[in-house]
Structure 1
Amino acid sequence: MITVDRVSKTRSRTRILHDVTFEARPGRVTGFLGPNGAGKTSTLRILLGLDRPESGAALICGRPYRKLDRPLTTIGALLDGSGAHRARTARAHLRWVAASNGLPDSRADEVLEIVGLTGDARKRAGRFSLGMSRRLGLATALLGDPEVLVLDEPVNGLDPVGIRWMREFLRNSAVQGRTVLLSSHLMSELAEIADDVIVIDKGRIVARGSLAEVTGDHRTLEDAFFALTATEAVRPW
């Protein structure tokens, strides 16, 4: 379970997060939405121990990230890119990360198979397409078979086949009891898989609840998002 409790953060004298509070529960996919600059990335960085809050707490299974033993066995995260050095092969990268958490080398080949990269195990990460890099990043997140997944724009760069595969993978992860927190700008795609939705705007949570509760009387999740954030769509002319 993920618990974010009254998290606030100030940067360069500007308050970027204001008492951010929400939960992501086991067995459910929770969508995390917000315009660019709304505070999504700052919240995820604090959750993953990459930054510290000014006040409040972000907990994974009741503990802050920094106090997790072998964190990959509790939480897997996919943020920007794959995290792999361009000169390393996919297998070498995964084995290196596995070793850092006391996991066997064999786990690298297991997760490569899960994400469909077995045939590219010896290819250097610098030669990967954007979609392949996202799959490698997901493989890294899965190394410890974690009970919590935090994914930022996981379908970015994937083709339609890859998007469908990712959708089924995320739903199956929730069915298996994992907690899945998913940040995405693709609201139509998010509406296909999310059980719960959190909307952040200007550093504040403006809506949280089930997909139906957040959508409310609006025709789509996208319509609800624009109404909640007062964001105007840019016209193509």
Structure 2
Amino acid sequence: MSRVRGRARVLHEVSFVARPGRVTGFLGSNGAGKTSTLRVLLGLDRPQAGRALIDGRRYAELDRPLTVAGALLDGSGAHRSRTARAHLRWMALSNGLPRSRVDEVLEVVGLTAEAGKRAGRFSLGMSRRLGLAAALLGDPPVLILDEPVNGLDPAGIRWMRAFLRDSAAQGRTVLLSSHLMGELAETADDVVIIDHGVVVADGTLAEVVGDHPTLEDAFLARTTATAEGPSW
């Protein structure tokens, strides 16, 4: 798929597949096109050419999207004045999900004690956990997560890594965008590298790293570094 914003090319013939039972790491420096790609996939932006499909359908065609694909983009998506539980309850209602599911996902992400707190009082890490809880409401087979470890402390990062690996082991398709090389090397089965809106590498972690000592070295070899260096 391709997307242009004004006169600027944002995405150019981006094409890759995230597979069930695997964590696909979507890697690129800031501004490379990661979030733009995920926004098109989730129907928030329209491509000028091509299609982005989830289980063979566009996101807008899904009857109960939370039961097919759970997504975490920037922030939690909750209004600042709403409590965590209230935010999740209306989301569950919108997709015909039982209210009991709200308490289940709050427990999964470790926010049970904070369920009555207003989202505006959440730290960045807590907001990411609330966003993940929303993504899990429908117990979807697909997870689409944009920089999910942002704002998490080291313990939270370890928890997120284990959660993603466990989700893939259960057969879920996990698409994870990040600019953190070390974290992806610890988590991903497959890696897609995007640079200036173009996919420059796509394969298993071992294939992408190849003869390079680390994923960071492989990334530098495949992308265009500016005079100031890449922005991770």
Give the alignment of 1:165-176 within 5 angstroms.
165-176=159-170
Unaligned runs of 5+ residues in structure 2 are: none
Report how far residue 234 of structure 1 moved.
Answer: 4.4
Kindly indicate whether residue 19 of structure 2 is the aligned counterpart of residue 19 of structure 1. Answer: no
Q: Output the CA distance in 2 between the equivalents of 1:15 and 1:229.
A: 17
Kindly indicate whether residue 176 of structure 2 is the aligned counterpart of residue 178 of structure 1. Answer: no
CA offsets, 1:75-113, max 9 Å, x none?
Answer: 000000000111111000000111111111111111000
Q: Output the CA distance in 1 between the equivalents of 2:35 and 2:18.
A: 16
Cα-Cα RMSD? 1.2
Q: Output the CA distance in 1 between the equivalents of 2:142 and 2:156.
A: 22
Kindly indicate whether residue 139 of structure 2 is the aligned counterpart of residue 142 of structure 1. Answer: no
More off after superposition, 53-62 vs 36-45? 36-45
Letter in 2 for 1:113: E
Choose which of 205, 212, 221 in structure 2 pairs with 1:227: 221
* TM-score normalized with structure 2 length: 0.96
Q: Output the CA distance in 2 between the equivalents of 1:61 and 1:115.
A: 26
Report how far residue 230 of structure 1 moved.
Answer: 2.6
Report how far residue 218 of structure 1 moved.
Answer: 0.8
Who is 2:105 aligned against?
111
Q: Output the CA distance in 2 between the equivalents of 1:193 and 1:104.
A: 32
Who is 2:24 aligned against?
30
> Conserved in 1, the CA contact under 8 Å of 2:30 and 2:179?
no
Choose which of 178, 200, 210 in structure 2 pairs with 1:206: 200
**Greater strand proportion:** 1
Who is 2:54 aligned against?
60
Choose which of 178, 182, 190 in structure 1 pairs with 2:184: 190
Who is 1:72 aligned against?
66
> Conserved in 1, the CA contact under 8 Å of 2:125 and 2:150?
yes
Tell me the SS of whatever aligns to 2:16.
strand
Tell me the SS of whatever aligns to 1:206.
strand
| Change in CA separation of 1:8 and 1:234 when aligned onto 2, cut-off 3 Å | closer
Who is 2:81 aligned against?
87
Who is 2:149 aligned against?
155
Report how far residue 228 of structure 1 moved.
Answer: 0.7
Report how far residue 161 of structure 1 moved.
Answer: 0.9
